[in-house]
Amino acid sequence: MELIYNSTRNKEEKVTASQAILRGLAPDGGLYVPAFIPALDRDMKEFAGMTYQETAYEVMKLFLTDFTEEELKDCIAKAYDEKFDTKEIAPLVEKGGVYYLELFHGATIAFKDMALSILPHLMTTAAKKNHAEHEIVILTATSGDTGKAALAGFADVPGTRIIVFYPKDGVSPVQEKQMVTQKGDNTFVVGIRGNFDDAQTGVKKMFGDRKLGEELAKGGFQFSSANSINIGRLVPQIVYYVYACAKLLASSAVAEGEKINVTVPTGNFGNILAAYYAKNMGAPIGKLICASNENKVLYDFFRTGVYDRNREFILTSSPSMDILISSNLERLLYRISGEDDKKDAGLMEALASGGRYAISEEMKGELADFYGNFATMEETAKEISDVYRESGYILDTHTAVASAVYKKYVRETGDAAAKTIIASTASPYKFSRSVLTAIDKKYESMDDFALADELSALSGTKIPPAIEEIRTAPVLHRTVVRTDEMEQAVKGFLGI
């Protein structure tokens, strides 16, 4: 049966999975959502015996129903190969009674690789299926990790160009160096004078600009997105939750049917939404624990039912979560409103005009699966230090936010018996300064590359190629623009 996708803001807008991936965002500014969430058609015991690639096929086939088996398997084989430094692709590591799901074994050592390794293949397959006439221009805003993962995925992919906007002063030195050294004739990297929300708002505006769309078409181009607003980002992220639950069953860490809590360090709400979809498909997931840093707009939302972005934007030690407009929350609102597109459009209108909306008591009642909390920078540093001293395991700052919030959850609810998966979203090598100074102040005076060596010695792990590469790589991208110059920059790159 074909699964149709519609816009969260208009149910009449109906497209196939491949069309939704090609477009990225619906014409009305809404996000594409499946008409229903399909149920897993294998039981967890069967999943327990599967490889990552087999799991990926069994999960993704349920969402991407207009892809043939051959097409989908081909995309999966090209994505989850030796780019990952472990055959397991997403290993589970048990430390101190919790299971860290390491999602950073891909080419750019952050969890964005899990979806962005496959998105270019899904996109080019979708373009072929739909006889797309125009070259695809991937327009992306990044809080630090999506940018590099998308660049790595789309570099030199025929029929595509990629333009990445990042907050010039809002990413880690390693994140910036990774992006501005990107090779490939079809890649463009631009720093903006603003924060991630400014970058994301600018990108969404260009998507919705009809006149710009026409100019693009005349030049032989069409936009798509590599951000988690693209359903092609979200679907591959569901896979590792099913995979992790199955691995816990395979190792007898849980009994059949036993519910597992999932804790996710959250920014744009894409990763945790994938866990929510996995739960709704039938994966044995209990609570969805949403962990924020000091930009705790989601924590406030889960406590009060009011989403309010009118607050100071704080630059933290977990920059990939420095976000006040969590785009994917729109997909959750759509679900908990009983798939009410008018309601959703109204809330999003209120967010765009006043920066704030309140949900009804009825909708709030549908949020029982979620628990929200946050960790300050100080608490995050302490968590890195505590976990290191207890187990020798070194967390990156984002994962440490989740780990600290998980402990708050246990203290607040007393729910210590349930097993927990913590999504480990980045390698500590990406944030070595924050990570090491959390462990010992003596690292403060060292330069970034000396820090990588120290981290290697301390953790007993090899410096990943992603870090080795940028030690000597030349800077190839130097453009920096104001937020009102983003469109001009795009036109300049495309020569239109």
Ligand X SMILES: *Cc1c(COP(=O)(O)O)cnc(C)c1O
**Catalytically annotated residues:** 112
Nearer to ligand X, 120 or 265 (CB): 265
Nearer to ligand X, 127 or 348 (CB): 348
Nearer to ligand X, 9 or 398 (CB): 398
In contact, 313 and 295? CB cutoff 8 Å: yes
Question: How many other CB atoms are found less than 10 A from the CB of residue 436?
Answer: 24
Which pair of tokens denotes residue 392?
A: 């020798």
| Site size with ligand X, rule: CB under 6 A | 17
Nearer to ligand X, 177 or 398 (CB): 398
Distance CA 130, CA 174 (A): 38
Distance CA 172, CA 444 (A): 15
Q: Which residues inside 289-348 make contact with ligand X, applying CB under 6 A?
A: 320-321
Q: How far is the CB of 145 from ligand X (least distance, A)?
A: 3
Is residue 145 within the footprint of ligand X (CB under 6 A)? yes
Residue 290 burial (CB < 10 Å; 0-12/13-18/19+)?
Answer: buried
Q: How far is the CB of 324 from ligand X (least distance, A)?
A: 12
Bridge partners (DSSP) listed for residue 324: none
Distance CA 7, CA 22 (A): 14
Q: Which of 150, 153, 148, 152 is nearest to 173 (CA)?
A: 148
Q: How far is the CB of 373 from ligand X (least distance, A)?
A: 15
In contact, 93 and 135? CB cutoff 8 Å: no
Phi-psi region of 43 (alpha: psi -120 to 50; beta: other; left: phi over 0): beta
Is residue 228 within the footprint of ligand X (CB under 6 A)? yes
Q: Which residue carries 């995979």 as its tokens? A: 243
Q: Which residues inside 387-406 make contact with ligand X, applying CB under 6 A?
A: 398
Distance CA 145, CA 171 (A): 9
Q: In this chain, which of 426, 466, 467, 489 binds ligand X, going by CB under 6 A?
A: 426
Cα 14 to Cα 279, 333, 387: the distances in Å are: 25, 19, 48
Q: Which residues inside 450-489 make contact with ligand X, applying CB under 6 A?
A: none
Is residue 427 within the footprint of ligand X (CB under 6 A)? no
First to last CA, the chain: 42
Q: How far is the CB of 46 from ligand X (least distance, A)?
A: 28
Q: Find the part of the chain contacting ligand X (CB under 6 A) among 19-27, 71-79, 107-115, 155-163.
A: 107-115
Q: How far is the CB of 319 from ligand X (least distance, A)?
A: 9
Is residue 110 within the footprint of ligand X (CB under 6 A)? yes
Q: Find the part of the chain contacting ligand X (CB under 6 A) among 109-117, 179-187, 202-210, 353-361.
A: 109-117
Q: Which residues inside 252-271 make contact with ligand X, applying CB under 6 A?
A: 265-271
Task: Kindly report the length of the chain.
Answer: 496
Question: How many other CB atoms are found less than 10 A from the CB of residue 367?
Answer: 17
Distance CA 456, CA 460 (A): 6
Which pair of tokens denotes residue 272?
A: 């945790």
Nearer to ligand X, 47 or 243 (CB): 243
Nearer to ligand X, 424 or 437 (CB): 424
Q: How far is the CB of 426 from ligand X (least distance, A)?
A: 4
Instruction: Write the interaction track for ligand X spanning residues 155-194; mark x where CB under 6 A is met and - where it is not.
Output: ----------------------------------------
Q: How far is the CB of 461 from ligand X (least distance, A)?
A: 17
DSSP state of 358: E
* Contact residues: ligand X, CB under 6 A: 110-112, 145, 228, 265-271, 320-321, 398, 425-426
